[in-house]
């Protein structure tokens, strides 16, 4: 198989099975299945950690409590008294995107006559996934803004600082989720393509080095950027001065 054929095959989003419900047929793609796996890992991991909490933290619990305090402190800085409404969502958002970006490292590498039995692709290379995450975040921004400002106050933000800004402020609520969606999608798709090329040209060693950047570093960075931009948009929507 040539490099071009390998890339075309890797970029395809295959349907695993089709769910027939009444007269409708719902395709269950590999993206959906991988996303379900990531969701299951997050839920199982959360339940496992919770069942092992101790009054006196030690070992992994110290790191866990540090991570929770880190997220809580950021939320307190940006949201003040409203922080408790967002800390769990933002922490989960980061972990979920991080896991979806990182899951390709579980794929075996083909080469030297060996063909990997399966290839796990990052769900975030599918624009449908990044679009869904961006829509959820912008809906939360709108709901939070209405909750803090009230409906009248929220509508007033569209003519702030003057009525002539109305079309630009409306456009702002379109460009924000579009920016979140395309930034995550573009970076992860580009990293996925580069990793596929490295695995084809250099079956050993080099893909492992590439993975340390494109999967671990870049995957973590993109999860952090998406989460932090959501924090900024929430703060702007609620009109809370940064502490």
Report, as an integer, the average pLDDT of 168-197.
Answer: 90
Residue 145's pLDDT is 93
**Any domain includes 6:** no
Domain count, the chain: 1
Residue 5's pLDDT is 72
Report, as an integer, the average pLDDT of 189-198.
Answer: 84
CB 123 within 8 A of CB 34: yes
pLDDT above 80 (res 201): no
Mean pLDDT computed over every residue of the chain: 86
Report phi then psi at 82, rounded to 5.
-90, 5
pLDDT above 80 (res 218): yes
**Any domain includes 13:** no
**Any domain includes 12:** no
CB 201 within 8 A of CB 108: no
Range of lowest pLDDT (2-6, 59-63, 70-74): 2-6
User: Using one digit for the tens of pLDDT, what is the confidence trace for 73-106?
Assistant: 999 999 988 998 899 999 999 999 999 999 988 8
Report, as an integer, the average pLDDT of 102-114.
Answer: 70
Residue 198's pLDDT is 80
Structural domain for 157, as ranges = 33-238
pLDDT above 60 (res 243): no
**Any domain includes 71:** yes
**Any domain includes 4:** no
**Any domain includes 88:** yes
Residue 116's pLDDT is 59
Is the whole model's pTM more than 0.75, yes or no? yes
User: Using one digit for the tens of pLDDT, what is the confidence trace for 11-33?
Assistant: 788 888 888 877 788 888 999 99
CB 233 within 8 A of CB 139: no
pLDDT above 60 (res 112): no
**Any domain includes 217:** yes
**Any domain includes 153:** yes
Residue 225's pLDDT is 95
How far, in Å, CA of 62 to CA of 67, rounded? 9
Range of lowest pLDDT (33-37, 115-119, 160-164, 213-217): 115-119
H helix runs in the chain, sequence order: 3-11, 30-51, 60-79, 87-102, 127-156, 166-201, 206-211, 218-238
H or E element: which one contains 37?
A: helix 30-51
Report, as an integer, the average pLDDT of 179-202.
Answer: 86
How far, in Å, CA of 211 to CA of 109, rounded? 11
How far, in Å, CA of 157 to CA of 38, rounded? 37
């Amino acid at each position: 198989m040539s490099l071009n054929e390998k890339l075309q095959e890797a970029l395809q989003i295959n349907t695993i099975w089709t769910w027939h419900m009444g007269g409708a047929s719902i395709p269950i793609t590999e993206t959906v299945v991988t996303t379900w796996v990531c969701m299951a890992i997050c839920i199982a991991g959360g339940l496992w950690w919770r069942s092992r909490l101790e009054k006196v933290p030690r070992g992994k619990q110290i790191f866990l409590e540090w991570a929770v305090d880190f997220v809580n402190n950021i939320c307190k800085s940006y949201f003040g008294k409203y922080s408790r409404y967002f800390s769990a969502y933002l922490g989960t958002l980061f972990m979920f995107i991080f896991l979806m970006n990182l899951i390709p490292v579980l794929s075996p590498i083909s080469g030297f006559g060996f063909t990997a039995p399966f290839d796990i692709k990052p769900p975030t290379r599918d624009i449908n996934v990044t679009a869904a995450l961006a829509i959820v975040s912008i809906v939360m921004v709108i709901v939070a803004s209405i909750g803090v400002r009230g409906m009248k106050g929220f509508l007033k933000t569209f003519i702030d600082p003057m009525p002539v800004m109305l079309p630009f402020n409306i456009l702002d609520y379109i460009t924000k989720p579009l920016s979140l969606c395309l930034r995550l999608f573009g970076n992860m798709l580009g990293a996925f393509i580069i990793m596929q090329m490295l695995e084809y040209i250099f079956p050993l060693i080099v893909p492992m080095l590439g993975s340390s950047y494109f999967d671990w570093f870049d995957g973590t960075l993109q999860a952090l950027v998406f989460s932090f931009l959501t924090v900024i948009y929430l703060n702007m929507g609620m009109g809370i001065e940064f502490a």
